[in-house]
Amino acid sequence: MVKLLTAIGLMSGTSGDGIDASIIQSDGEEELNIIDNCYVPFNSKLKSEIRGLKEKIEKQSDLDLNLNHIVNLEQKITVLHSEAVEQIIKKGKVKKSEIDIIGFHGQTIYHNSKQCISKQLANGELLCELTKINVVFKFRDNDIKNGGQGAPLVPIFHHLIQKKKKIQLPVMFVNIGGISNITYIDSQNQIKSFDCGPGNFLIDKLLQKKTNNKIEFDINGVTAFKGSVNEVILESYLSDPFFELKPPKTLDVNDFSLSLIRGLDLENSVTTLSELTVRAISNSLNILTDKPKKIILCGGGRKNKYFFQRLKDLCKINILNIDEFKINGDFIESQAFGYLAIRSITNKPLTFPDTTGVTKASTGGVLIKTK
């Protein structure tokens, strides 16, 4: 009989608005039971602090210049992650003694694949000390050391969902978070994945800036539907060299800016940036070996009705929301990091040449054990 391990997966996404926590059971292979999920929001002061720090870090040397701030904020965020662990255990679906491992991603503040750097605010030693549970963190480091770009990490979990839900191949999962990334599984069951362009982060940043954080994101794409696309500015964005790169490839939020839309009003700006997200996804179909039978939307952007409608218009493929498969789409990534933690401690690969560009299938993560 296959041994199932129980993991808590923790994720704080690009938006930096809170912590997703999930409890899963898996063997790190084909078995998966989702036990529970919960969300712990950051307060407005912490959200502003995270955004402020990210804006200060545009290059590698900025990490050293802001070291004290990084260490202090990392401690705060780690303590909040320990509270998320406590909160989900308190829900009572499993006992603390039954948890084998925590998968702790942390808050990304800088990612640059060219410089081989990916920095997350995550103190694994402190989380282990606070929770008294073994912790896996630094999921990206080994991939980068072995020639990979350190992202995306969730494709192996998307593949598991495809198998569990018996989704017909070929299929394309699109995770629209701060960055949009694609997991394509072809008819031979091979995975290819890559970041395809900006997701929500430019839109979120614009709305936060223009409304003094009163509006944090475009709920349901309402603002995008009100404006018009400026095709000249859109083409300027789409002429960025990133779009000519062959996968695997990754992006950071610093790779694109709001400078091109400076002269536009708010509604037209949001519509143009939303169209950038959609075109980046639809243009990615051109580099796939076979047209997918379905496109499955994940991440916060799956709730944006503008994205959904425009992808239907452009792709001419059946577009589905991951929730239609009886999966809570808000917790895919936290569940994935629970799964990746189990794969890490059972020495199974997390990344592959066609997902991150790593030289060979590689495991990853650093294990911190309780004393």
Q: Label residue 2 by pLDDT band (50, 70, 90).
A: confident
In the numeric block, the tokens 């239907």 are attached to 312
pLDDT tens-digit map of 279-332: 999 999 999 989 999 999 999 999 999 999 999 999 999 999 999 999 999 999
Amino acid at 31: E
Question: Residues near 212 by Cβ (< 8 Å), separated by ≥ 6?
Answer: none
Q: What is the 3-state secondary structure (H, E, C) of the chain?
A: CCCCEEEEEEEECCCCCEEEEEEEEECCCCCEEEEEEEEEECCHHHHHHHHHHHHHCCCHHHHHHCHHHHHHHHHHHHHHHHHHHHHHHHCCCCCHHHCCEEEEEEEEEEEECCCCEEEEECCHHHHHHHHCCCEEECCCHHHHHCCCCCCCCCHHHHHHHHHHCCCCCCEEEEEECCEEEEEEECCCCCEEEEEEEECCHHHHHHHHHHCCCCCCCCHHHHHHHHCCCCHHHHHHHHCCHHHHCCCCCCCCHHHCCCHHHCCCCHHHHHHHHHHHHHHHHHHHHHHCCCCCCEEEEECHHHHCHHHHHHHHHHHCCEEEEHHHHCCCHHHHHHHHHHHHHHHHHCCCCCECHHHHCCCCCECCCEEECCC
Q: Label residue 14 by pLDDT band (50, 70, 90).
A: confident
| Rounded percentage of the chain residues whose pLDDT exceeds 90 | 95
pLDDT tens-digit map of 63-79: 999 999 999 999 999 99
In contact, 339 and 32? CB cutoff 8 Å: yes
Query: pLDDT at position 115, please?
Result: 87
Q: Give Cα separations from 252 to 12, 177, 180, 299 (angstroms).
A: 15, 12, 11, 17
**Could you state, in order of their start, the residue ranges of all structural domains in the chain?**
5-148+331-368, 166-325
Query: pLDDT at position 204, please?
Result: 96
pLDDT tens-digit map of 281-292: 999 999 998 999
Q: How many Cβ atoms are within 10 Å of 199's Cβ, its own excluded?
A: 31
Q: Label residue 114 by pLDDT band (50, 70, 90).
A: confident
Closest CA to 196 of 165, 231, 155: 155
What sign has the CA pseudo-torsion 150, 333, 39, 203? positive
Return d(Cα 35, Cα 131) in angstroms, integer. 19
Q: Whole-prediction pTM value?
A: 0.96
Among 1-5, 140-144, 182-186, 337-341, the range scoring the smallest mean pLDDT is 1-5
The partner residues of 20 in beta bridges, in order of sequence, read 11, 39
Please indicate whether the domains covering 5-148+331-368 and 166-325 agree at the CATH topology level.
yes
pLDDT tens-digit map of 168-211: 999 999 999 999 999 999 999 999 999 999 999 999 999 999 99
**At residue 229, what are phi and psi to the nearest 5 degrees?**
-80, 130
- Extract the tokens encoding 31: 């078995």
**At residue 130, what are phi and psi to the nearest 5 degrees?**
-75, -35
pLDDT tens-digit map of 242-259: 999 999 999 988 899 999
Q: Would you say residue 1 has pLDDT above 70?
A: no
The dotted CATH code for 5-148+331-368 is 3.30.420.40
Query: pLDDT at position 298, please?
Result: 97
**Distance, C-alpha 197 to centroid of its chain:** 13
Q: Would you say residue 15 has pLDDT above 90?
A: no
Q: Determine whether domain 166-325 maps to CATH 3.30.420.40.
A: yes
Closest CA to 147 of 365, 367, 366, 352: 352
